[in-house]
Structure 1
Amino acid sequence: MLGKISHWLATRHDDKGGASDAFVQQRYDALTRLKNATLAVLRKENAAELGDAGGQQTASSQQPGTGGGLAAVALPREQRQQLTERDPCVGELCVALEACLVLGLKPRSTEEQPSWWHVLYASTLIVDEPTLVQSVLSAAFLSEEDAGKARCWLKIALNNHTIESSIMMIFSMACEHLIRNNYEEWSLVRCSEGLGLFLELVIALRDVHFAIEVSGDPFHLPEPAETVEVEPVVAESSSGEMVATITDADIAAAVGVSPSRAGSFLPPPDAEPVFVEFEDAIEVKDPEIQGVVTTDEDEEEVIQLPSALFPHRLRGIKPWQYVFGISLASLSKNPYHSRYALIDPFLALPNIVDDCVTILRENPDTPRLFRTTVLSIRLNQLREIVETEGSVPKDLDPQCAGALLLDFLKNLPDSLLTDDKYDAFVAAGQLRDEEASVRNITCLVNDLPVHCQIVLKRLINLMHFLQQPEHSELNGVDVFTASTVIAPVIAFKKGSGSGLLSERQRGRAHSQYQDVRYAAVGAQVVERMIQHYASIFHNVRIQVVDALERLEAKKEALRMVSHQLKLLPQMNFMSDRQQVNEVTRLFREHLEGGNNSLAGQVAECSTPEVTAEVENESQSDTPFNLELDLWGSTAATPHTSATSSDASSPTTSETTEQDLVSMWEQFGFNRPTILGNFEKGGVLMLRAILYWLNNDSNALALLKMRALPSELPSYDAGLVASSICEALVKLLKLFLTPKHPEIDIVAMSLEPFWELFDEDMYFNKLFMFMFQVFDQLWSELDPKAASFTRVITETEGIMNELLKKAPVTVSDLQAEWAEIRARRLEETEDDDGLEQEELIEDEVLQAAALSDPSLLSPPLRYSKKKPSFDVRPDDYKSKLMDTSSILTLEHIAYIDHALPITSQLCRWFRIYSIEANGSSLETLLILAQKQSPTLLVVKDADGNVFGGFASDEWHRAFHYYGTGESFLFSFANSSTAGGFVKYQWSRKNSYFMLCSDESLIMGGGGNFGLFLDSDLSRGSSGACETYNSPPLTTSQDFSCVHVELWGFTTGDKPEIERHRKSGLD
């Protein structure tokens, strides 16, 4: 606890206004003497306690089975050795305590020597606490002199262990007037930091067992003796350690010494006194204080105070976590300390203000709000919590919440009223004409920066609420009290003195003189604000309400996305019916315009000019509501149309509906009914498709082309569209579940794509863009390797990576994808050139084979990927730490040679195998936690051995991960040594690893390089662009006989948390 005391000590960097060096020296001497006396008492008790413990330990060590080491056992306080007045350290402690309590007492004419008995006795009339009253009455009967009575009480309090609680009650806010009337302003007990340090030293004595003879005689002091170095104690108590952490420099700072003058109060390091002039005073060696740079308080800058001013920051708190001493503008833009920082500036209230105000509003009837003393040590703890966790503890009591709020405002680099407008606010508050004063204050408030407006509005609203009669009677907060309390922390002006910015700020914040001055000057302004809160903050309140309404509308719009995904279109809803009919009309117009040149349209559909001509060739005369009643539950007479030649037929309705279904099928929507195409995409998909068809001139021609049989396999547009809608909802974190029925708007605002939601029709634009990306990837496929699952997975991965780049509009995504695709095409062209060179080399080798019989065998296609080496299987006998059902020594030799050099130096241990752990992908993922890199080895039913090296830990993800160190391998190539081939990264894409609940995948582009299902019983392998690999097995689909996962270690086999078996196992 006392380790945190340096917080107060470092805050007193400037001398008090009007305080002389003599008074500072007296406070310093008193605290230094008390610290040394406290430390001597604690060492005396610990030495005696360790002696007793050592004797008991020695006796017990002689018994069999006991250890011989010395261990300090904390004894109960009653069992410890008693310290009496005969112990010199006790007398020194009592003298030091008395010196602190009488320092700064106002002289009384009747007293020969200073005594604080009259203060002690008067406090019992204010604080009606039985223990304190009884101890004071007992002391009054044991001596005739006031000084003797005070000494008697001090001895009684030490013996009864009540000195801690009694001192806190005597110097609490309840006795504030008593202390002010009897102590000088420069006294130790009226110095908040010095009193806090005094209390902490008293707290350190709570476990000491005193047995002092109670009398009014003066305390016994030890005779001066030669200084003897204290021998180190084996195990010192925690209290002793805490007291030892208080340095002389700390005490100097606590009593009000600036850093530049602290050296004059510190004892010299040598034994002999050394006199140092002021100019040669010891400099502060704190690198953080020396490193502070004065900066202008621009809204875009973060004003930071050195860690010496807030010692809890030395515990590892990062600069972006700072709260105290940071400009309000910076905090309002920091999402860690302001929940709505990225949502709306009129809602960006710092969390500390919001939380403290909420606690105070929930407890408006708490007695003595803002007037109860909260120790600085407690405030220091709360500062650390706020900066570490980003918020105020929910169970914080109202008194601490009020003190923390004032402490935060007091440490702001600039006041809420700002330096520029401070004089104007003061002048407006001093106007006698109340209406003119309120009018001027209103104009000034409206002219403040937004971050100052919202904090000031929230603070004044709190005070306006607390001073209401129903609450004021209980909490004691009236208009005068409220204005006096908050005026010094919101209405001040920075000093113009020289020196570091942080020093001036702290000196201002802790100057009692300036607190009183600002309270007197600013109270009039604050009082007017509280009394006329509704009119002064009218405009600010309207802006905050508007911001809240915009936020609620945005939350509702985001929530509706998931709802529309699940909501099926209904033809009895006018909006749904109109949208379905509009899509049908667009399909019909495109078909009617392309009947005469279908072949030409398919060949040239990719050009916008041709598509525009096709759409403009004819205009349909069919009424807009032609299909309104086609999906009714009862038969109805349809509207006649130019395309319905048999309108009088009794089956016209059925025929027309079937024609419409056939029309949709020509564009890739293949469900038996039109509405059936939206079973998975819902209304969301319907609106997105309509937007795409209306805003992309190539959309209709593209869908028509992909639905026709061609060299490239067609795809189901309805399936693609529904998959894209579901993928976008998940990627945008908009999918609602029973467990998470609402969208966390604060967490959502931290997503990199948050600003996309501000764009009009953002989802429809994303749908159109993602569909285009899907089609482009589909166009790059080898017709023999077309796979919908692979392409849609790759499309999701691309969209996920693009959304991470913090786009502001969909156009940003399109521009980024255009650059990526251009690079992909360049790499493809380079690879094609290399393949052409390889073909030429192959032709040369084949020509040479006609004259050289040794070259009759075909050239090694993959010889560049696996250089030859001397295989010595015996060298790898100790490579495996566990047995393998797949790998032989020859397998191990080839694979080890292909591993990265860091893995070649390791031994292999088995993480998972089907035989030992069962056939389950979930089990493999559990055992593979925190294991990377790993080696996956598979043996199929045909005896083929293959697998892959994974650079990262296997885990579930929605996108690919891993690095270029990953590779695939196979022993199925008869043209290479040992049949082993290593397929390295081709740099065509980055689809290294992918895992979900259903599958484990390595490689993508064209086909998966290696695919295993959730049971690890079946898999597939195809031509893969990531590793430029052919199928790893003789057939693409295979059955797994053995699957093993191996890890690498340079030491002993690591402990792996095994999969917990069920009771059935």
Structure 2
Amino acid sequence: MLGKISHWLATRHDDKGGASDAFVQQRYDALTRLKNATLAVLRKENAAELGDAGGQQTASSQQPGTEGGLAAVALPREQRQQLTERDPCVGELCVALEACLVLGLKPRSTEEQPSWWHVLYASTLIVDEPTLVQSVLSAAFLSEEDAGKARCWLKIALNNHTIESSIMMIFSMACEHLIRNNYEEWSLVRCSEGLGLFLELVIALRDVHFAIEVSGDPFHLPEPAETVEVEPVVAESSSGEMVATITDADIAAAVGVSPSRAGSFLPPPDAEPVFVEFEDAIEVKDPEIQGVVTTDEDEEEVIQLPSALFPHRLRGIKPWQYVFGISLASLSKNPYHSRYALIDPFLALPNIVDDCVTILRENPDTPRLFRTTVLSIRLNQLREIVETEGSVPKDLDPQCAGALLLDFLKNLPDSLLTDDKYDAFVAAGQLRDEEASVRNITCLVNDLPVHCQIVLKRLINLMHFLQQPEHSELNGVDVFTASTVIAPVIAFKKGSGSGLLSERQRGRAHSQYQDVRYAAVGAQVVERMIQHYASIFHNVRIQVVDALERLEAKKEALRMVSHQLKLLPQMNFMSDRQQVNEVTRLFREHLEGGNNSLAGQVAECSTPEVTAEVENESQSDTPFNLELDLRGPTAATPHTSATSSDASSPTTSETTEQDLVSMWEQFGFNRPTILGNFEKGGVLMLRAILYWLNNDSNALALLKMRALPSELPSYDAGLVASSICEALVKLLKLFLTPKHPEIDIVAMSLEPFWELFDEDMYFNKLFMFMFQVFDQLWSELDPKAASFTRVITETEGIMNELLKKAPVTVSDLQAEWAEIRARRLEETEDDDGLEQEELIEDEVLQAAALSDPSLLSPPLRYSKKKPSFDVRPDDYKSKLMDTSSILTLEHIAYIDHALPITSQLCRWFRIYSIEANGSSLETLLILAQKQSPTLLVVKDADGNVFGGFASDEWHRAFHYYGTGESFLFSFANSSTAGGFVKYQWSRKNSYFMLCSDESLIMGGGGNFGLFLDSDLSRGSSGACETYNSPPLTTSQDFSCVHVELWGFTTGDKPEIERHRKSVLD
């Protein structure tokens, strides 16, 4: 609804871009005419309403709370007198509306008179809204001329009360390109504040009952008459009252008139009486702008902050998208609203703060920063953009950026200085000893939570930058102004009382701090922070710089993975030569140990010193010979003894090189040269192989076995290793291309495997694990049907699915694969015949002797997503907004850890429970309307607690619905921590959720994972393919003692409509 707009003239600076007085005069005349026409229509309608309700005035005057019969009875819009084209005020209104819409329209050669019909029609191609499209199509058939069609649409919109919504859609951000191409830059619709005032005047007409005859004829204008002063009606409507508060000075300021020239556009004092007298303090009663806005004619600074009601959220923005009114702690952990939320807490600055500060730092010389009024309509548009897109528009002007930043800080549930430290900050700011004051403030800042430290540091740094002399002369922001501007929004104390304040209460609390005099104490603290920014925020700056250095080091390490994949080993590099020599030494020792195992044992027992000497000599010989052979000099001589001759021996050198190549071939590396094996894997492959050979005692035996022809199929180890390296780089999204030469670290942090990068030697461990998986899949094939492409593709698919499970370490992947491997073997044994079963058992036994025993040992039946999770029940005391008859703090901790990240950021509110709402599935479905996701929790007669997470709203359907986010859980497993087990989607089918009048079901295939009857009194649980879950309870059938359904929210508890209880209740 229309809000009161006050003292704009005092807050405007000289108009930018050199706009001429002629254009300003045109915008001023158009808005003034529309304002007068709107007032005339509202007075006409209000006078008719008073006449129709005259019979009710006497009765109403007898009721308590009325004042002498002056209160009129408001009639519904349909019962009010209709205003038609015969009323002069209606024709004047239509002409004024049309004049505003065609002002500044770019001329078209085919038009005799300006018409905005082409803009109106083109907007329907961009904004596909049925009401707008239908009204435009109807107007197109009622006239042949474009101007007549535009007039027809205007009449239809007024009659149908759709002009308000249609104008907002036509001139919204979606049609910005259309408006720029068809309107001049000086036009009214491209003047942000002028358009805002135009929209508010249109909104004031929403309750007027029009009945205009629709035709393309020109609007009927009243006969020119002598201007008559119209006195305000005693019981004027709220719309008329608020339109009256829009003074000519407001219109002059809105169209871009500077204070020095405003008088030339305003009517003389005796031309028209003033309907509203502005005093020093104006109380704004409109619900959109809560609190008292105090202005002082002697002070330049006028800060108008918007409401805390957030009307833009009526458009269906989801709770996890909320920004305004949400705590900093939640925003800093939400990757949607903080780019570095999952990277480092010292970098987790909310996007809205980061973007607004960036815009202001890029435009430090903008005049009157933080002191130019921004309409609440514009702020609501920006709020919607921020919450739907997660960031601020890049082309936002600095004035709006400053207003949006203050709006965000003002609506925080708690101030940046926090309630418990507010008094200490105030006391520190009042110390006369400046050095002691700065020292105390520094200690307090260092003791703030991290999310408060980084936002406060960024904000004070901005003000410190803007008040520098070279910028302060142009933007008007000095230390006093800066501290006065931001003190009310960062240095306040939440009202006393338990619990969180409601939005309306918080708006009233904040309004006290809009008075600069009341905020003077907070301004002292902020002023000290700005003046001594370097010393107060020294420690915070160091921590932020360290976090940035760690981030850059991590980015460089991730970037080097792709570089090492393409970089071939070079023997003139010490590190590459040492690694190749080390691999060769391991191959040689394994071959010598295998061929002479018995002789080695005897020698070890009889002459250990001689054996050690021989080993040392062979180890010293190998690197030297390898180095000579790989460099390939024809005159190189092998190192035979200390007295060997200097004569060259090419034949011996060639033999030695060939011996080394043959040695590598015995382990599956079949290239003509040793370095040729790394043409596709590069240095990355060399380091991964060396790590594997050093950390897996069975690796050498496995490679040697797979390289030799045998009953088991063999493969080229070099080809497998290079393919695994390439696959891992792509799966981890580390592959760089000319189009994407750098890694997007923000997007990378959102990947489920992000935490893997924190593990030491993560790539080498992944390589070792993936090679073992490949070998296990290879061993399951028939030797005659072995296919490298098939196995490597299947291995990549398995790794891709494992990486999606958010592993923290490679051990998590190994545990998950062990479970999958066990299931695969069980399924194979069930499906194949006896002969094939025996063959598989032989394969597994042979592979077990050569591969990691931990992978083939009996795995845990269930593996948790993050084994490192530490249960701290005390951290979840405030998670529930209602009491529960089932859940304990330990239950809540385990379940919350298993929820998706968007739900972990929310609090839980109870939607349904048997104790409060009765035992009825019908009641549960009524209360669960428009609630998703939800958590269903059941407690049976044996005390077992179990349930499921439902991704979609519960409703009746003839088929299954839901998504893969759904899961089942149970606390009945004694072999896991807390007894908690989460059963995720197995991808075997999509039977997530099903509900009818008779039952509620989760999971299918074989048995229902969870089944509840229509009375919610009995149920069953069986082995389910959807979630690969066993029965959730000790017995398949159970009796329900308690059933609860919980929802998730980041704000206040949603109001649930009252419902009629069922017969069962």
* C-alpha distance in structure 1 between counterparts of 2:206 and 2:485, whole Å: 34
Compute the displacement of 1:871 (Å).
63
Compute the displacement of 1:654 (Å).
1.1
Distance 1:458 1:931, change over 3 A: closer
The two structures have a TM-score, normalised by structure 2, of: 0.54
CA contact (8 A) 1:12 1:255 kept: no
Compute the displacement of 1:570 (Å).
0.7
Counterpart of 1:287 in 2: which secondary structure? coil
Counterpart of 1:131 in 2: which secondary structure? helix
Match of 2:958 in 1: 958
Range 171-180 or range 583-592, more displaced: 171-180
Distance 1:306 1:643, change over 3 A: farther
Compute the displacement of 1:521 (Å).
1.5
Distance 1:385 1:785, change over 3 A: same
Aligned residue pairs, count: 1065
Counterpart of 2:4 in 1: which secondary structure? helix
Distance 1:636 1:511, change over 3 A: same
Compute the displacement of 1:827 (Å).
1.6
Range 589-598 or range 1008-1017, more displaced: 1008-1017
Match of 2:1057 in 1: 1057
Compute the displacement of 1:637 (Å).
2.0
Range 544-553 or range 247-256, more displaced: 247-256
CA contact (8 A) 2:188 2:195 kept: yes
Compute the displacement of 1:639 (Å).
2.6
Map Cα deviations across residues 629-688 of structure 1 (whole Å, 9 max, x no partner).
Answer: 532455322333899999974411111111000000000000000010000000100010
* C-alpha distance in structure 2 between counterparts of 1:381 and 1:649, whole Å: 84
* C-alpha distance in structure 1 between counterparts of 2:42 and 2:94, whole Å: 14
CA contact (8 A) 2:306 2:376 kept: no
Distance 1:899 1:303, change over 3 A: closer
* C-alpha distance in structure 1 between counterparts of 2:303 and 2:471, whole Å: 38
Range 162-171 or range 781-790, more displaced: 162-171
* C-alpha distance in structure 2 between counterparts of 1:291 and 1:242, whole Å: 17
CA contact (8 A) 1:860 1:976 kept: no
Distance 1:182 1:550, change over 3 A: closer
Match of 2:545 in 1: 545
Map Cα deviations across residues 549-607 of structure 1 (whole Å, 9 max, x no partner).
Answer: 11111111111111111111111111111111110011001111111369999999999
Map Cα deviations across residues 57-88 of structure 1 (whole Å, 9 max, x no partner).
Answer: 99999999999999999999999999999968
Compute the displacement of 1:830 (Å).
2.1
* C-alpha distance in structure 2 between counterparts of 1:874 and 1:174, whole Å: 47
* C-alpha distance in structure 2 between counterparts of 1:704 and 1:851, whole Å: 12
Compute the displacement of 1:120 (Å).
37
* C-alpha distance in structure 2 between counterparts of 1:98 and 1:223, whole Å: 19
* C-alpha distance in structure 1 between counterparts of 2:1023 and 2:777, whole Å: 16
CA contact (8 A) 1:608 1:698 kept: no
* C-alpha distance in structure 1 between counterparts of 2:607 and 2:922, whole Å: 49
Map Cα deviations across residues 509-554 of structure 1 (whole Å, 9 max, x no partner).
Answer: 5524664465211000000000000000000000001111111111
Map Cα deviations across residues 953-984 of structure 1 (whole Å, 9 max, x no partner).
Answer: 99999999999999999999999999999999
Compute the displacement of 1:316 (Å).
1.7
Compute the displacement of 1:345 (Å).
0.5
Distance 1:580 1:970, change over 3 A: same
Q: Where does the alignment leave 5 or more consecutive residues of structure 2 unmatched?
A: none
Map Cα deviations across residues 742-785 of structure 1 (whole Å, 9 max, x no partner).
Answer: 11110000000001011111000000000000000011111121
Structure having the higher Rg: 1
Aligned-pair Cα RMSD in Å: 21.5
Match of 2:774 in 1: 774
CA contact (8 A) 1:936 1:950 kept: yes
Q: Does 1:24 align with 2:4?
A: no
Map Cα deviations across residues 445-484 of structure 1 (whole Å, 9 max, x no partner).
Answer: 0000000000000000000000000000000000000000
Compute the displacement of 1:711 (Å).
1.0
Compute the displacement of 1:951 (Å).
22
Match of 2:412 in 1: 412
Compute the displacement of 1:321 (Å).
0.6
Distance 1:20 1:646, change over 3 A: closer
Range 54-63 or range 43-52, more displaced: 54-63
Distance 1:766 1:924, change over 3 A: farther
Range 114-123 or range 830-839, more displaced: 114-123
* C-alpha distance in structure 1 between counterparts of 2:55 and 2:14, whole Å: 52
Counterpart of 1:3 in 2: which secondary structure? coil
CA contact (8 A) 2:914 2:1042 kept: yes
Distance 1:69 1:914, change over 3 A: same
* C-alpha distance in structure 1 between counterparts of 2:434 and 2:979, whole Å: 97
Map Cα deviations across residues 1024-1044 of structure 1 (whole Å, 9 max, x no partner).
Answer: 999999999999999999999
Compute the displacement of 1:812 (Å).
0.6
Map Cα deviations across residues 908-938 of structure 1 (whole Å, 9 max, x no partner).
Answer: 9999999999999999999999999999999
Compute the displacement of 1:227 (Å).
28
Compute the displacement of 1:310 (Å).
1.3
CA contact (8 A) 1:304 1:325 kept: no
Q: Does 1:744 align with 2:744?
A: yes
Range 849-858 or range 703-712, more displaced: 849-858
* C-alpha distance in structure 2 between counterparts of 1:110 and 1:679, whole Å: 68
* C-alpha distance in structure 2 between counterparts of 1:480 and 1:874, whole Å: 44
Counterpart of 2:384 in 1: which secondary structure? helix
Distance 1:786 1:597, change over 3 A: farther
CA contact (8 A) 1:164 1:203 kept: yes
Range 225-234 or range 376-385, more displaced: 225-234
Compute the displacement of 1:153 (Å).
31
Range 350-359 or range 603-612, more displaced: 603-612
* C-alpha distance in structure 2 between counterparts of 1:440 and 1:855, whole Å: 58
Compute the displacement of 1:1062 (Å).
66
Distance 1:416 1:515, change over 3 A: farther
CA contact (8 A) 1:494 1:505 kept: no
Identity %: 100
Distance 1:785 1:755, change over 3 A: same
Range 991-1000 or range 878-887, more displaced: 878-887
CA contact (8 A) 1:14 1:507 kept: no
CA contact (8 A) 1:4 1:380 kept: no
Match of 1:518 in 2: 518
CA contact (8 A) 2:513 2:519 kept: no
Counterpart of 1:118 in 2: which secondary structure? helix
* C-alpha distance in structure 2 between counterparts of 1:606 and 1:286, whole Å: 101
* C-alpha distance in structure 1 between counterparts of 2:1041 and 2:665, whole Å: 43
Range 456-465 or range 1044-1053, more displaced: 1044-1053
CA contact (8 A) 1:293 1:500 kept: no
Distance 1:581 1:137, change over 3 A: closer
Compute the displacement of 1:822 (Å).
1.0
* C-alpha distance in structure 2 between counterparts of 1:958 and 1:123, whole Å: 40
CA contact (8 A) 1:13 1:259 kept: yes
* C-alpha distance in structure 1 between counterparts of 2:1015 and 2:666, whole Å: 39
* C-alpha distance in structure 1 between counterparts of 2:609 and 2:442, whole Å: 61
Range 102-111 or range 612-621, more displaced: 102-111
CA contact (8 A) 1:1009 1:1027 kept: yes
Distance 1:433 1:656, change over 3 A: same
Range 187-196 or range 385-394, more displaced: 187-196
Counterpart of 2:721 in 1: which secondary structure? helix
Distance 1:601 1:795, change over 3 A: farther
CA contact (8 A) 1:88 1:220 kept: yes
Map Cα deviations across residues 374-430 of structure 1 (whole Å, 9 max, x no partner).
Answer: 111111110000001000000100000000000000000000000010000000000
CA contact (8 A) 1:936 1:1043 kept: yes
Distance 1:629 1:411, change over 3 A: same
Map Cα deviations across residues 710-750 of structure 1 (whole Å, 9 max, x no partner).
Answer: 01221000000000000000000000111111111100000
Q: Does 1:919 align with 2:919?
A: yes
* C-alpha distance in structure 2 between counterparts of 1:929 and 1:1039, whole Å: 26
CA contact (8 A) 1:321 1:387 kept: yes
Distance 1:778 1:959, change over 3 A: farther
Counterpart of 2:1040 in 1: which secondary structure? strand
Map Cα deviations across residues 208-235 of structure 1 (whole Å, 9 max, x no partner).
Answer: 9999999999999999999999999999
Counterpart of 1:414 in 2: which secondary structure? coil
Map Cα deviations across residues 132-155 of structure 1 (whole Å, 9 max, x no partner).
Answer: 999999999999999999999999
Distance 1:640 1:55, change over 3 A: farther
Distance 1:87 1:738, change over 3 A: same
* C-alpha distance in structure 2 between counterparts of 1:860 and 1:447, whole Å: 44
Match of 1:187 in 2: 187
* C-alpha distance in structure 1 between counterparts of 2:1028 and 2:270, whole Å: 76
